[in-house]
């Protein structure tokens, strides 16, 4: 199975695109809704929560895990890859190996080719912005880019409680977009650097137009999906361990009915989630 993890619902935007590109595999989605949002939490806390989730998904039989969460990718992935995975893999039976991949690397490989002005904006959670991961990784790919990051602390909580179409959401969409384009009026490409944000992409695009600053707004789902397909082609040692029945199960650490209802908004088809504790 391929495990797909997010603090809550946002990773569903990634899962949906992955399943379009790689429908044959079996997937296990885990949303840690009971502890979301992660974006305002400390490094230590995000690392611990992410490691708990990764360990749980491995125990359920996932051979490959996608951190479909920028905050977890920015704050926990490196430590998990360098410190925890070698220990976990040492204990695996029959020479099997597991790996954990994030969403930042595949995204920064694509974004530089999408801007004409070389001025790129990154909209993300406070945790992702504080990590500076996007700026550092984008500049490694293209040192001539001008990267401006905007933390949008209210967007994930509004989406998690289903208030993203409200007047309050409109206020905060206007506020953060106006801030970033005032800081750099040359931005022509805006990365939605949080997997929750595709749900408000239309509202973001509409607000940019009414601010007189239409941009190329980039959601990560397709980028991550194609990057995973490429990874599987290049890594048969993981690919051959994965089962292929085209199934997908949904787990949440909070209320299962609430998850199932909200997930439908992201996926546009009904799902039946199960509540888990780990």
| Catalytic machinery residues | 69, 194
**What residues contact 99, with CB distance under 8 A and at least 6 apart?**
63, 64, 65, 85, 235, 238
Please tell me the distance from the alpha carbon of residue 14 to that of residue 18, in angstroms, as a whole number: 6
Q: Which of 113, 141, 111, 115 is nearest to 124 (CA)?
A: 111
The contact mask relative to ligand DGL for 58-97 (x = CB under 6 A, - = no) is: -----------xxx--------------------------
Chosen residue from 5, 6, 51, 238 binding ligand DGL by CB under 6 A: 6
Nearer to ligand DGL, 3 or 39 (CB): 39
Which pair of tokens denotes residue 250?
Answer: 């949904």
- Which of these ranges, 104-112, 190-198, 211-219, 225-233, lies near ligand DGL under the rule CB under 6 A? 190-198
Closest approach, Cβ 115 to ligand DGL, in A, equals 21
Q: Helix 256-267 crosses helix 11-21 at what angle (to 10 degrees)?
A: 60
Closest approach, Cβ 22 to ligand DGL, in A, equals 20
Per rule CB under 6 A, is residue 253 in the interface with ligand DGL?
A: no
C-alpha triplet 186, 74, 32: angle, nearest 5°: 120
Query: What residues are paired with 190 via a beta bridge?
Result: 121, 217
Per rule CB under 6 A, is residue 128 in the interface with ligand DGL?
A: yes
Chosen residue from 18, 36, 120, 248 binding ligand DGL by CB under 6 A: 36
Q: Contacts with ligand DGL: how many residues (CB under 6 A)? A: 17
């Amino acid at each position: 199975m391929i495990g797909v993890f997010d603090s809550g619902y946002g990773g569903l935007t990634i899962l949906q695109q992955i399943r379009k590109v790689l429908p044959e595999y079996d997937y296990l989605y885990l949303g840690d809704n009971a502890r979301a949002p992660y974006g305002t939490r400390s490094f230590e806390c995000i690392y611990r929560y992410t490691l708990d989730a990764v360990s749980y998904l491995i125990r359920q039989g996932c051979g490959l895990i996608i951190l479909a969460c920028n905050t977890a990718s920015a704050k926990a992935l490196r430590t998990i890859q360098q410190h925890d995975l070698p220990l976990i893999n040492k204990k695996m039976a029959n020479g099997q190996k597991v790996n954990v991949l994030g969403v930042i690397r595949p995204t920064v490989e694509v974004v530089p080719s999408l801007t004409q002005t070389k001025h790129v904006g990154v909209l993300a959670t406070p945790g992702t912005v504080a990590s500076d991961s996007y700026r550092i990784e984008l500049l490694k790919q293209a040192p001539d880019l001008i990267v401006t990051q905007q933390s949008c602390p209210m967007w994930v909580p509004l989406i998690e409680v289903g208030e993203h179409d409200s007047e309050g959401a409109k206020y905060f969409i206007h506020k953060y977009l106006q801030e970033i384009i005032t800081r750099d009026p040359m931005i022509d490409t805006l990365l939605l650097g949080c997997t929750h944000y595709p749900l408000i992409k239309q509202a973001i695009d509409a607000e940019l137009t009414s601010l007189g600053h239409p941009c190329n707004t980039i959601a990560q789902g397709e980028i991550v999906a194609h990057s995973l397909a490429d990874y599987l082609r290049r890594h048969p040692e993981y690919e051959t361990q994965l089962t292929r029945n085209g199934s997908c199960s949904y787990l949440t650490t909070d209320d299962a009915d609430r998850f199932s209802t909200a997930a439908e908004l992201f996926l546009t088809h009904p799902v039946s989630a199960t509540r888990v504790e780990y």
